[in-house]
Structure 1
Amino acid sequence: MFHREGQKIILITFFITALAVLLAHFFVNIPWIKLAIQITALVILILILQFFRNPKRRSNKSFNEILAPVDGKVVVIEEVEETEYFKEKRKQVSIFMSPINVHVTRYPASGKVKYSKYHPGKYLVAWHPKSSEENERTTVVIGTPKFGDILFRQIAGAMARRIVNYAEVGESVQQGEDSGFIKFGSRVDVFLPLNCQINVSLGQKVKGAITCIATYVDPNEQEESKY
């Protein structure tokens, strides 16, 4: 299966590939040049197809868990001041996507969309400390039954030039469903309550809609454990 955001690019690439292969076959007389053109065209088509792949995944939906919104590697786990929506400290988990990762963004939790905003910006490399605040990005906040409000942010990188965000304020969303797409690389930041338990570690590879990155911790049980 391929993501709908890639349909136009796939069709154009397929047409160009077919044209390049045919032109090389009929008009190039030097065998090694002909083969090089045809192989290059096919490799480009394969790369485009793998980039826009959209594997269907069944999430084990749970109000007590936050699932990874994307495939990639965990590059940040820290307590930060979230300045756009919460304006208070939150736990941040950031996942970096390389060009070979699936680039579908999925809802990390079930709930109602309370905030959805696009921000134009720069195209710093995705691991740059300021990319979360200065790059092109979208911010989505979901109100959940257990965690309260959680925020996730799609961030464009040096290669990514278009972010697609489907979240609309007021709609109910399901954990694991498509929430958007980032074309050609970048990262997603997730901002969670301070009292949740983070279940991933730096450098860990995660799968969108599959890997649990955090679990709910009952504040009452947490308080009792102190005594």
Structure 2
Amino acid sequence: MDSQIDCIQPGGGVCMRIELTWGAWRRFYLRLFRRGYLKRMAKSRRGSENQCQWDVLDPRDLKFHVNQEGYSWSAADDPFTWRDQLPFARAGLAEMIIFSSVLIPLSCLFVILACRHSIGWSVVALLPILLQAEIIWFFRNPRREVPAESGLVVSPADGRVDLIEEIEHDEILDGPAIKIAIFLSVFNVHINRMPIAATVFGSGYRQGKFLSALKPESAWENERLELWIEGIEAPHRVMRVRQITGQLARRIVCHAKTGDRYQRGEQFGMIKLGSRTELIIPREEGLELAVKIGTKVQAGSSIMARYD
């Protein structure tokens, strides 16, 4: 695993810093008023090494470090697993709360001004309301029906296929390959899913620029994180899934670590606000592409390719 990937969001960000600061205050409160709760959490905690830069008191302290070895809790002992059942991406809950705490009061203020002074303020009030709606829509986490047929490769992202390129030799796949790039607009679901049932055997991360994801050069100049995966079923095909930031989407989230096993269509991360995802698959006899440039796809359910 790339040593630069020290948390699920290696690029950091303002919202992440706010959430970490809130975590420090939360731990202060727990130590002061919830000592019995802390004893129960310490008793059920697994592992012997803390990989975080702060004390791990309950599962919330591990949110940004689930892709690191160290402390953990079983699902039965984690009182916060209900957050995974929400119709929103858990990695984006903090952004939703932070933006809402600003946009909702702002909308109310403009509505009051419209009632007391001029109806023109009601038009201004629409702006934060629409932005609030977009934030909620952006972080939605819809359920997906994952096809079960063997030999299928499903889309790792929602969006539109904007590039299909043949590669003579890929160093990770150790042979010819095909790269399929998907552009995600701000209106797409931004959760990433595994294209096949696979084991993660490596990863790479590179800091970079934040060019528009529509520009071809964004693929190699922007910040990106990629996973190297090997199929669980024979013939154990090796593939690469690459998350790339965009002009607005500047935060890559990836929960996977080396050795993790995923089922086809299972979530492994997301990119926050408009971006690009690339899938590199082996080019071999019996491969049939199921998409073309311009095809709209959904992560986990749309078929990208078939292998005989």
1:156 corresponds to which of 214, 223, 245? 245
Equivalent position SS for 1:210 = coil
Query: Which residue type is aligned with residue 120 of structure 2?
Result: I
Task: Measure, in 1, the Cα distance between the counterparts of 2:150 and 2:257.
Answer: 21
* Shift in alpha-carbon separation, 1:98–1:84, aligned structure 2, 3 A: farther
Structure-2 residue corresponding to 1:181:
270
Specify every segment of 5 or more residues in structure 2 that has no aligned partner in the other structure, as ranges: 1-86
Do 1:73 and 1:97's aligned partners in 2 also have CA atoms closer than 8 Å?
yes
Asked if the contact 2:153/2:303 (under 8 Å) is kept, the reply is: yes
Aligned partner of 1:15 in structure 2 is 101
Q: Which residue is equivalent to 1:6?
A: 92
TM-score, normalization: structure 2? 0.66
2:135 equivalent to 1:48: yes
Corresponding residue number in structure 2 for 1:210: 301
Structure (1/2) with the larger strand percentage: 1
Partner of 1:225: none
Residue 92 of structure 1 is matched in structure 2 by 179
Unaligned runs of 5+ in 1: 218-227
Alignment equivalent of 1:134, drawn from 209, 213, 221: 221
Which contiguous aligned blocks of 4+ residues in structure 1 show a shift greater than 6 angstroms? none
Per-residue deviation, 1:53: 0.8
* 1:54 alignment partner, SS class: coil
Structure number with the bigger relative contact order (C-alpha 8 A, sep ≥ 6) is 1
Indicate yes or no: 2:288 matched with 1:197: yes
- Please report the TM-score for the alignment, with normalisation by the length of structure 1: 0.88
After superposition, the Cα gap between the structure-2 partners of 1:22 and 1:172, relative to the gap in structure 1 and judged at 3 Å, is same
Check 1:34–1:116 CA distance in 2 against 1; reply closer, same or farther (3 A cut). same
Between the aligned partners of 1:96 and 1:112, the Cα distance in structure 2 is 25
How far off is 1:62 after superposition? Answer: 3.9
Coordinate RMSD, CA, aligned: 1.9
Provide the secondary structure at the position in 2 that maps to 1:31: coil
Counterpart Cα distance in 2 of 1:186 and 1:21: 28
SS at match of 1:213: strand
SS of the aligned residue for 2:228 comes to strand
Tell me what 1:59 maps to: 146
Q: 1:41 to 1:82 in 2, by over 3 A?
A: farther
